[in-house]
A = this chain, B = another copy of it.
Amino acid sequence: MPRTAETASFQFNHTMVRVRDAESSVKFYTEGLDVLLFAEKNMGNFTLYFLAFDQGQNYKDISEEGKSQALFAREGVFELTHSHGTETDVSFASHSSGNSDPGKGFGHIAFTVDDLGVKIKKRLQDGKMKHIAFIMDPDGYWIEVVANGLKQ
Protein backbone atom coordinates (compact mmCIF):
# COMPACT_ATOMS: atom_id res chain seq x y z
CA MET A 1 0.00 0.00 0.00
CA PRO A 2 1.21 3.54 -0.63
CA ARG A 3 2.33 5.55 2.34
CA THR A 4 0.22 8.54 3.16
CA ALA A 5 1.49 12.07 2.84
CA GLU A 6 1.27 12.30 6.58
CA THR A 7 3.68 9.44 7.15
CA ALA A 8 5.86 9.73 4.06
CA SER A 9 8.70 11.22 6.08
CA PHE A 10 8.86 8.41 8.62
CA GLN A 11 12.19 6.66 9.02
CA PHE A 12 13.38 3.93 11.33
CA ASN A 13 16.13 6.11 12.69
CA HIS A 14 17.90 4.26 15.46
CA THR A 15 18.13 1.45 17.98
CA MET A 16 19.43 2.07 21.49
CA VAL A 17 21.08 -0.38 23.85
CA ARG A 18 22.84 0.25 27.14
CA VAL A 19 26.48 -0.65 27.55
CA ARG A 20 28.57 -1.30 30.63
CA ASP A 21 31.91 0.06 29.42
CA ALA A 22 31.65 2.69 26.70
CA GLU A 23 35.32 2.60 25.78
CA SER A 24 35.26 -1.12 25.05
CA SER A 25 31.98 -0.93 23.17
CA VAL A 26 32.91 2.04 21.02
CA LYS A 27 36.22 0.40 20.19
CA PHE A 28 34.46 -2.83 19.28
CA TYR A 29 32.12 -1.13 16.82
CA THR A 30 34.46 1.45 15.36
CA GLU A 31 37.60 -0.67 15.08
CA GLY A 32 36.04 -4.10 14.75
CA LEU A 33 33.20 -3.25 12.41
CA ASP A 34 34.31 0.09 10.97
CA VAL A 35 31.20 1.93 12.12
CA LEU A 36 31.70 5.67 12.43
CA LEU A 37 31.35 7.29 15.84
CA PHE A 38 29.20 10.07 14.58
CA ALA A 39 28.42 11.93 17.76
CA GLU A 40 29.09 11.70 21.47
CA LYS A 41 26.81 13.59 23.85
CA ASN A 42 27.63 13.90 27.53
CA MET A 43 24.30 14.29 29.33
CA GLY A 44 25.68 14.56 32.85
CA ASN A 45 25.18 11.17 34.47
CA PHE A 46 25.35 9.34 31.18
CA THR A 47 26.82 9.69 27.73
CA LEU A 48 25.19 8.82 24.42
CA TYR A 49 27.26 7.48 21.53
CA PHE A 50 25.73 7.58 18.07
CA LEU A 51 27.22 5.14 15.59
CA ALA A 52 26.41 4.88 11.90
CA PHE A 53 27.99 3.70 8.69
CA ASP A 54 28.84 6.56 6.38
CA GLN A 55 26.63 5.76 3.39
CA GLY A 56 27.84 8.56 1.20
CA GLN A 57 26.86 11.30 3.62
CA ASN A 58 30.50 12.42 3.85
CA TYR A 59 30.16 13.22 7.49
CA LYS A 60 33.72 14.48 7.67
CA ASP A 61 32.58 17.51 5.66
CA ILE A 62 29.55 18.27 7.81
CA SER A 63 29.82 20.96 10.45
CA GLU A 64 29.18 20.15 14.08
CA GLU A 65 26.05 22.25 13.77
CA GLY A 66 24.75 20.16 10.93
CA LYS A 67 25.66 16.82 12.44
CA SER A 68 22.64 16.47 14.68
CA GLN A 69 20.28 17.17 11.82
CA ALA A 70 22.09 14.68 9.61
CA LEU A 71 21.97 12.11 12.37
CA PHE A 72 18.20 12.19 12.58
CA ALA A 73 17.58 12.39 8.85
CA ARG A 74 18.59 8.82 8.04
CA GLU A 75 18.07 5.20 8.94
CA GLY A 76 20.58 2.77 10.40
CA VAL A 77 21.83 4.66 13.45
CA PHE A 78 22.93 2.69 16.52
CA GLU A 79 22.90 4.45 19.88
CA LEU A 80 24.84 3.30 22.92
CA THR A 81 23.95 4.64 26.34
CA HIS A 82 26.60 4.54 29.04
CA SER A 83 25.74 5.34 32.65
CA HIS A 84 28.91 6.76 34.11
CA GLY A 85 30.61 4.45 36.57
CA THR A 86 29.29 1.08 35.50
CA GLU A 87 32.60 0.30 33.82
CA THR A 88 34.42 0.22 37.17
CA ASP A 89 31.61 -1.06 39.39
CA VAL A 90 32.63 -4.64 40.16
CA SER A 91 29.22 -5.38 41.66
CA PHE A 92 27.53 -4.33 38.47
CA ALA A 93 26.04 -7.36 36.77
CA SER A 94 26.54 -7.82 33.09
CA HIS A 95 23.95 -6.48 30.74
CA SER A 96 21.16 -8.67 29.54
CA SER A 97 21.56 -9.54 25.90
CA GLY A 98 17.92 -10.57 25.74
CA ASN A 99 18.89 -14.08 24.76
CA SER A 100 19.62 -15.66 28.12
CA ASP A 101 15.89 -16.16 28.66
CA PRO A 102 14.96 -17.58 25.27
CA GLY A 103 11.80 -16.37 23.69
CA LYS A 104 11.57 -13.01 25.35
CA GLY A 105 12.54 -9.48 24.60
CA PHE A 106 15.27 -8.05 22.44
CA GLY A 107 17.04 -10.41 20.09
CA HIS A 108 19.80 -8.89 18.03
CA ILE A 109 20.91 -6.28 15.58
CA ALA A 110 22.17 -7.23 12.13
CA PHE A 111 24.75 -5.90 9.72
CA THR A 112 24.90 -6.84 6.08
CA VAL A 113 28.28 -7.24 4.46
CA ASP A 114 29.47 -8.18 1.00
CA ASP A 115 31.90 -10.80 2.18
CA LEU A 116 31.64 -12.93 5.30
CA GLY A 117 35.37 -13.13 5.33
CA VAL A 118 38.16 -11.32 7.02
CA LYS A 119 37.93 -8.55 9.61
CA ILE A 120 34.92 -9.94 11.44
CA LYS A 121 35.65 -12.73 13.80
CA LYS A 122 32.76 -14.94 12.96
CA ARG A 123 31.14 -18.15 13.99
CA LEU A 124 29.20 -19.62 11.13
CA GLN A 125 26.12 -21.51 12.06
CA ASP A 126 25.72 -25.02 10.88
CA GLY A 127 22.77 -26.27 8.88
CA LYS A 128 20.85 -24.24 6.37
CA MET A 129 21.96 -20.74 7.30
CA LYS A 130 25.59 -20.74 6.19
CA HIS A 131 25.32 -17.18 4.94
CA ILE A 132 24.71 -15.89 8.45
CA ALA A 133 27.17 -15.48 11.29
CA PHE A 134 26.61 -14.29 14.83
CA ILE A 135 29.15 -12.38 16.84
CA MET A 136 28.84 -10.87 20.30
CA ASP A 137 29.71 -7.39 21.40
CA PRO A 138 31.37 -6.63 24.78
CA ASP A 139 28.00 -6.69 26.56
CA GLY A 140 26.98 -9.96 24.97
CA TYR A 141 24.53 -8.38 22.53
CA TRP A 142 24.11 -10.59 19.52
CA ILE A 143 25.09 -9.19 16.15
CA GLU A 144 23.93 -11.07 13.12
CA VAL A 145 26.17 -10.66 10.11
CA VAL A 146 24.40 -11.38 6.84
CA ALA A 147 26.16 -11.78 3.52
CA ASN A 148 24.58 -9.22 1.23
CA GLY A 149 22.99 -10.43 -1.97
CA LEU A 150 22.10 -13.78 -0.52
CA LYS A 151 18.59 -14.78 0.29
CA GLN A 152 17.51 -15.69 3.77
Contacts and interface: CB of A to CB of B under 8 A. Distances in A.
A130 interface: no
Q: Taking the full assembly, how many copies of this chain does it contain?
A: 2
Contacts of A9: 112-115, 148
A53 B10 contact: yes
A116 B64 CA distance: 25
Contacts of A1: 36
B105 A96 contact: yes
B55 A11 contact: yes
Nearest to A16: B107
Contacts of A42: none
A119 B7 contact: yes
B18 A151 contact: no
Contacts of A15: 15, 108-110
A6 B146 contact: no
Contacts of A52: 12
Given A105-B106, A118-B6, A77 B12 contact: yes
Nearest to A147: B72
Interface string A58-87: 000000000011011111111101010010
A90 interface: no
Given A9-B148, A72-B146, A98-B106, 16 more contacts: A6-B34, A7-B113, A10-B112, A12-B109, A12-B110, A13-B76, A17-B107, A41-B152, A68-B151, A68-B152, A71-B152, A72-B148, A72-B150, A72-B152, A95-B104, A96-B105
